[in-house]
Structure 1
Amino acid sequence: MNRAALFVSLLLLGCSPEKARETLAEEPIAAADTVLEEVADSVTDASLDGTATSTVPLDVRQQLPAELEVHLDRTHGLWQFPTLTPTDLQRIPEEEQGPYYVQADFNGDKKQDYAIQLMERDSAFVYAFVMRSEGDFQEFLLERDKLYDMDNQKRSIHYLRLAKKTDRYYDYATKQHFTIAQDGISVGAENYTATYVWEKGKFRKFETGD
């Protein structure tokens, strides 16, 4: 009888409130550590794979094709890209060409042509460079505008975008829709877009946005 009473006392002591509290205090800490590790891993993955942020390249000149950069160095001296507004930098989706330059076959001769925006002296210029059969470029000046003082910097208010031949356009000057046979060059501003299309040996300008 005394032996049975002793066994019951030991059993009750093993299940005391103090022991229960110790067990409950230990388990959530281990679970919390696991959750924190999972959160840290997910944050690290998001920053490493680049999907969480989108930034503008620091040196856009690195994106230029070598033949275009060589031509610019030879014909335009100490050329530079103009500074664009933060809004204009974000106008072009990451998967599309622009806002500094675009490339395509503008005249249908199956050669690579280019359009680029440069800063020279106190102005911003938009040039098109069409590859000739001799292997050099024919240069066309599409637009010139002054630089504007914005946020304590002189900036261009223009940005470039590829005008795709698969799209349909509206000319506000003639109030008619039209299509283009070859890819063209769209030059945008805050409330204005001009599209340049190759026609009869030169670029024709259409007012395609307001």
Structure 2
Amino acid sequence: MKKKLYLLGLLGVAVACGPKNEEVRDGQVEVAPPAQALDSVANTRKDALKTDKNDISPTMPLPPPVLRRLTEEYANWKEPALTEEALEQSEGYLQAPMVVRGDFNGDTRQDLALQLQQGDDLVVVAALQEQEGVYELYELKRDILFNERGALKSPYYLYLMEQGEPLRIGAERDEMEAEHDAVALGIEGEDVVYLFEGGTFISYGVSN
């Protein structure tokens, strides 16, 4: 089942970890009721997409080059605990809630996005595979972790918005399709979709 997005505007900022800073714009999006489970990119779709099958841990499978880049950019990072609400809301998605994989820039290589904990912060990071085994990190969001009875937890969950999702843009709501896979970040129905366009991630606010 597909979601329909209604994009109404743009404005904002995202950060690429490294020498480049990436500009991000925000928009408002209305979507149809939540979709059913999305197909896993790594298992069911895009024969041309090169996938990584190196599971570092049962809960957060990451390729070694990404682990190295994360260690360089985010010292002492770790996998965050999630609130019960985030876990419940992520049910029904095959790729959720910690890591999602897809082709975010259309080069047929597998990219990924994850949420991590660094100190008291929750950080959402996308890793684009620019060459075989070479990744560039993009920081999509940073927020303070939720303090639940003394335990720091993330109230967010990730899921994949697939290539080809129907989009309706502007006042005329002209229809187009998402050019690439996109990273979706959910929190109690106030979701944000990050599309890679023109060399940067652009964020669109989502309402169900």
TM-score normalized by the length of structure 1:
0.63
Q: Which has the higher contact order (CA 8 A, sep 6+)?
A: 2
**Aligned pairs for 1:68-147 within 5 A:** 68-93=66-91, 96-133=94-131, 135-147=133-145
Equivalent position amino acid for 2:156 in 1: H
| Cα separation, partners in 2 of 1:149 and 1:130, compared to 1, 3 Å | same
In the other structure, the counterpart of 1:60 is 59
Shift in Å at residue 86 of structure 1?
A: 1.5
Shift of 1:174: 6.7
The code of the aligned residue for 1:204 comes to I
Preserved contact between residue 129 and residue 139 of structure 1 (Cα < 8 Å): yes
How many residues were matched structurally?
Answer: 151
Deviation sequence 1:105-154 (CA, Å, 0-9, x none): 10011111111101111110101111113742111111111111124311
Quick one: which amino acid aligns to residue 161 of structure 2? A
Q: Could you report, residue by residue, the CA deviation over 1:18-76 in whole angstroms, capped at 9, with x for unpaired residues?
A: xxxxxxxxxxxxxxxxxxxxxxxxxxxxxxxxxxxxxxxx9513x33444334333443
Work out which of the two has the higher radius of gyration on C-alpha atoms and give 1 or 2. Answer: 1
* SS of aligned partner of 2:70: helix
Which segments of structure 1 move beyond 6 Å, counting only runs of 4 or more?
none
Distance 1:178 1:146 in 2: 35
* Structure 2 gap segments, 5+ residues each: 1-56
One-letter amino acid of the counterpart of residue 98, structure 1? A
**Contact 2:184 2:192 (C-alpha < 8 Å) held by counterparts:** yes
Q: Which residue of 2 aligns with 1:39?
A: none
Contact residue 196 and residue 205 of structure 1 kept, 8 A: yes
The reply on whether 1:197 has 2:190 as its aligned counterpart is no
State the partner residue of 1:181: 179
Amino acid at match of 1:161: Y
Where is the helix percentage greater, Structure 1 or Structure 2? Answer: 1
Contact 1:169-1:208 at 8 Å conserved across structures: no
What letter is aligned with 1:185? V
Distance across 1 between alignment mates of 2:172 and 2:206? 10
Worse-matched range after superposition: 173-182 or 150-159? 173-182
Return the alpha-carbon distance in structure 2 between the equivalents of residues 164 and 127 of structure 1.
18
SS for the counterpart of 1:90 is helix
Q: Identity of counterpart residues, as a percentage?
A: 27
* Inter-CA distance 175–79: structure 2 relative to 1 (3 Å threshold): farther
Contact 1:170 1:208 in 2 (8 A): no
Structure 2 length-normalised TM: 0.63
Shift of residue 95, structure 1, vs aligned partner: 5.8
